[in-house]
Structure 1
Amino acid sequence: MTRRTTTPSAARLGLRENAGQFALLVAVNALVGGMVGQQQTTLPLLATQEFGLDGYAFIFTYIAAFGVTKAAANYVAGTLSDRIGRKRVLLAGWLFALPVPLLIIWAPNWGWIILANVLLGINQGLAWSTTVTMKVDLVGPKQRGLAMGFNEAAGYGAVAVTSLAAGWLADQFGLRPAPFLLGVAYTILALALVLFFVRETRGHANLEAQAHANQAADLTSAQVFGLTTWRDPSLSSASQVGLVNNLNFGLSWGVFPLLFASRGLEIAQIGILIALYPAVWGAGQLLTGWLSDRWGRKRLITTGMLTQAVGMAVIALSGEFLGWAFGAILLGAGTAMVYPALLAVVGDVAHPAWRGRAIGIYRVWRDLGYAFGALVGGLIASTLGLTFAVWGAAALSLVSAIAAIVRLRETNPR
């Protein structure tokens, strides 16, 4: 049976030509990010203060569970979006989000928190990967970096705003249930937007495919996996850098709240520090996505990883609020340089016929970084202390930057 490749007669590529649907998908991705932000400040504190957990490796299991399931869901999202369409996968992702905040609110033990994060990982993998693919479909090759800048700025800006809001709610009303009512509202709103207003975008991908000749279109999933994981220098470099980048985020998610709390900061202050990282990350991508279309992808990616290494070192060396804030700003700036450029690299190289799978596989490796960050951070923190875990992330960021300098090719079609 041959898959249909018809293109809607009204389909046009470009950000301006698809402004309404593009803006709607930006809003949906902001809600995806908000689902992570509701728990960033609160869950490590919930583990120690309400559940009495004291082993870092065990506490961070919820981040590892999130990262592994999100990575697997990314692969499923890429495969299904190429086969059955983008909108159905996006809707399924939000259905998995429904129980997440309720499980956390009612959790009698830590196992419920881990289950909630398994479902959250599925939600993030299906929903975030699909909004990325849909935006790339809509804008075409000329504004790919800018499109990814908008997408990631919305998602991680929402992580920051929701982290800050959840920290304030926890400080005013307690760790449960107030912060997680945000997730209930986000899920209901997202389901309504996707069900009634988001439109399918595979027709736009088919339109671009008619003029796309840089790769063969009839690749198997195994071939796409090989290209994205090791065979293609640019795709595999993107996967490697993405993994280390999210290792930093996963480690910060678990380590930073406990590190700051151990030095006497209040929950509201911790919320501000936790929000700074994704706030700078989110806002900065509006600029860096645009710059990657003009300056190229490689210089932003390598400079961004070096900046993250410095940011981690500053946090490890500091012992007070202002130093930690400066380190978080550096981390956010470095991540802003990297994130949209990496997605643009995958969009540059991948043929529209297997773009969804390539994005999904790249995001498999990238989001396994959450799990590695949680496991590595937990083990180092348990044996050597929280500060040494931060130093470990700084060293890995430096190694990642050097590897990208050596292996990553410039992929900007300009």
Structure 2
Amino acid sequence: MSSTADTGVRLGLRENRAQFALLVVVNVCVGGLVGLERTTVPLIGTDVFGLTSDLAVFSFIIAFGLTKALTNLAAGALTARFRRKQLLVAGWLIGVPVPFALAWAPSWGWIVAANVLLGLNQGLTWSMTVNMKIDLVGPARRGLATGLNEAAGYTAVGATALLTGYLATAYGLRPAPELIGVVFVVAGLALSLVVRDTAAHVALELARHTDHSPPTGPAAGLAATFARTSWHHRSLRGASQAGLVNNLNDGLTWGVFPLLFTDHGLGLAAVGLIKGLYPILWGIGQIPTGHLADRLGRKPLIVSGMLVQSAGFVLALVLLDRPLLAGVTSAVVLGIGTAMVYPALIASVSDHAHPRWRANALGTYRFWRDIGYAVGALVAGVLADAVGLNATVVAAAVLTAGSGVLAAWWITDRRPVA
């Protein structure tokens, strides 16, 4: 699990526990910042700015998803020119205006613009925390490393969504719920200035890598890796489509669930509970599922997790006559299913990518995964305006089950070598 070099650099979770723990806390701040929007922003669109089109309400998610996806893609290429720590700090500086814009935006256009900045922030900061943790632990513990990283981020998303729901109930939709984001920005930036870069760990793993068949030089660049990860490589293609549909689900629930359950009589605190439970379980659940991905393989968790998510959408509609039960049950099942999928997908991409082009492969995967936010919001907005919120949830269940079938067909497990 560990290795040493003349420089004293070592690979392994235990060997790098202090830096790893610091990066976990940084990703808590990353997740907390995006969690500000989970409960309140769709309702700000309808109640504060008077938007009547669901597609218009979901436009902030489309802006966020497109920007984050493109930033994820660029982040892989940028690691060839800049150190990971530099990109991490840059992401936090870009995110400074976000909580203030959400709290006091004079028009909906400002909310959309804030989500462009938030997408840049999340694309850089979350990408770098993932890459740096993978760099630190080496090949054998990637599932656990990504599980811990995503657990920290998405537990913070859920806890913040839950907190903003209660703050909105007590103090209104703005500005109190959004201003807690200032704490996340300040803490995230300060801690990122302290963390050490991981370039030496990448160099050590590259020196020890025994597979010399993957191309180097121009063929390992962004364009070639994008094509390889998106469609040429069967397993990477399977992971990319599953990631897209997984976040399509998240983008859809982000916009649809607050409107669906308030339409059925639930208040802001109850909606906050539903919106908080989903990412909290998604987050905490990734610690055991990341470990299981290392023990059992990536594919079983990916395929079964997508099918569990599909069942979560079905339950939301079957139980809708009791909206709180429907929301909580759906959130629990969706959270468990997503926890099964998330670390296994990132670990699978890492398994099939040579260290020389792994950052670009992860950037490409994360591009397709996070474009799912935009696709989900766009599909949700169009379908909700045309046929209603219930039919939109049915469509999500069908798409998710289909994605699980494709993952079973395309993805193969490749056992990493320590």
Deviations 1:318-345 (A, max 9, x none): 2121122111111011100000000001
* Pairwise CA distance, 1:227: 1.0
1:273 counterpart = 2:274: yes
Distance apart, 1:81 and its partner CA: 1.7
Aligned partner of 1:216 in structure 2 is 215
Q: How far 1:220 sits from its partner (Å)?
A: 2.2
Offset, 1:377: 0.5
The residue that corresponds to 1:34 in the other structure is 32
1:198 aligns with 2:227: no
User: 2:83 corresponds to which residue?
Assistant: 85
Q: Cα deviation per residue 1:10-66 (whole Å; 9 max; x = unaligned)?
A: 210000000000000011011111111111100011111110111001110000000
Question: Matches of 1:292 and 1:81 in 2, distance apart?
Answer: 27
Shift in Å at residue 294 of structure 1?
Answer: 0.4
1:131-152 deviation per Cα after TM superposition (whole angstroms, max 9, x unaligned): 1000000000111100011000
- Partners of 2:53 and 2:222 lie apart in 1 by 40
Q: Deviations over 1:357-380 (max 9, x none)?
A: 111111000000000000000111
Alignment CA distance shift 1:8-1:200 (3 Å)? farther
Aligned counterparts of 2:332 and 2:82: Cα–Cα separation in 1: 41
Structure 2 distance, partners of 1:10, 1:211, is 15
Out of 360, 363, 366, the residue aligned to residue 363 of structure 1 is 366
1:316, distance to aligned residue in structure 2 (A): 2.1
DSSP 3-state at the match of 1:256: helix
Ranges in structure 1 where 5+ consecutive residues have no aligned partner: 1-6
Letter in 2 for 1:79: A
Look up the match of 1:112.
110
Q: Deviations over 1:126-181 (max 9, x none)?
A: 11011100000000011110001100000000000000111111111111110111
1:76-135 per-residue CA deviation (whole Å, 9 max, x = no partner) reads 211112332100000111111100111111211100000000000000001101110000
Q: Give 1:43's aligned amino acid.
A: V
Alignment of 1:247-266 (within 5 A): 247-266=248-267
1:171-182 to structure 2, matched below 5 A, reads 171-182=169-180
Identical counterparts, % of pairs: 53
Alpha carbons 1:81, 1:130 under 8 Å: kept:
no
Q: TM-score, structure 1 length as denominator?
A: 0.97
User: Which letter does structure 1 place at the counterpart of 2:272?
Assistant: G
How do 1:280-359 and structure 2 match up within 5 A? 280-319=281-320, 320-359=323-362
Residue 402 of structure 2 corresponds to residue 399 of structure 1: yes
Return 5+ residue gaps in structure 2 as ranges.
Answer: none
Structure-2 residue corresponding to 1:409: 412
Output the amino acid matched with 1:216.
P
Shift in Å, 1:8: 7.5
Aligned CA RMSD, in angstroms, stands at 1.1
Structure 2 residue 53 is matched with structure 1 residue 55: yes
Whether contact under 8 Å (2:169, 2:268) holds in the other structure is: yes
> Are the counterparts in 2 of residues 82 and 357 from structure 1 also a CA contact under 8 Å?
no
Q: Does 1:17 align with 2:20?
A: no
- What whole-Å deviation, never above 9, does each CA across 1:282-308 have from its counterpart, x for those lacking one? 111000000000000000000000000
